[in-house]
Chains A and B, each alone.
Chain A
């Protein structure tokens, strides 16, 4: 039986959404015998959205609208349900657009109202040319993944 590391030593890496994988201070992965013994950064909710820039080919605008679409189709209560505050949430933003280098990551990050947010922009989304060479309609896809640091309660 592996003795669980203390809370301060515990650090997630790699497949952080999976309860069985943790990394201890610079050491390699180990597999916990029982995943419910110990847990930290836990994948709780994923929100999905789509946004467009119809005429201006503004990838940042499309991404921001996609985030708004993802966020405001849902009202999240997971933080409160598990005794945490919204500020405790760890938010990972994944943005797909056809020209990832055109996205202003800082502006995109500011769309997230709570929590510690990281942004990843990848090649994705969709660009559709307008008729008669009048520009491009651009579509952004966004996934917002929310994590909480959890541990077993005193049941």
Chain B
């Protein structure tokens, strides 16, 4: 399987300390900065696409991986959560803002069905 694209995004939950919400927003940010038109152009089914999601937050145990996976509209999705992201603490107002960062890898077995025309 070849990687077609790595999509990057960040999301936050400013006041709710909801790590899943921040992660889901990061996924939306990541996937909506690009479009893999080649599936249409080459008439390839999205079911052949493997989607690997890596989420970085300060409290990985607080992320609902299934909820994050549901944010991805296509492909076979796997979600990994690691220690990362950023928490911004406002000690005066006793609030923590949660920032999640996400990397989404889209992979496809191109299997020599198509090749670039040599220039």
Q: Which residues of A contact B (CB under 8 A)?
A: 7, 17-19, 35-36, 39-40, 42-49, 69-70, 72-84, 88, 145, 148-155
The A/B interface has a contact count, at CB < 8 Å, of 111
Contact, CB under 8 Å: B6 / A153: no
Q: How many residues on B have C-beta within 8 angstroms of the other chain's C-beta atoms?
A: 31
Contact, CB under 8 Å: A45 / B5: yes
For residue B7, CB closer than 8 A to chain A, the reply is: yes
B interface: dominant SS: mixed
A117 to chain B, nearest CB (A): 16
CA distance A39 to B116 in the complex (A): 10
Name which of A40, A76, A77 has the most chain B CB atoms within 10 A of its CB.
A77
State which of B113, B114, B116 has its C-beta within 8 Å of the C-beta of A79: B116
Contact, CB under 8 Å: A17 / B41: yes
User: For residue A42, which residue of chain B has the nearest CB?
Assistant: B41
CA distance A49 to B32 in the complex (A): 10
State which of B33, B40, B42, B116 has its C-beta within 8 Å of the C-beta of A74: B33
State which of B33, B41, B110, B112 has its C-beta within 8 Å of the C-beta of A70: B33
Asked if A73 meets B33 with Cβ closer than 8 Å, knowing A78-B38, A80-B2, A81-B4, the reply is yes
B30 neighbours in A (Cβ, 8 Å): 73
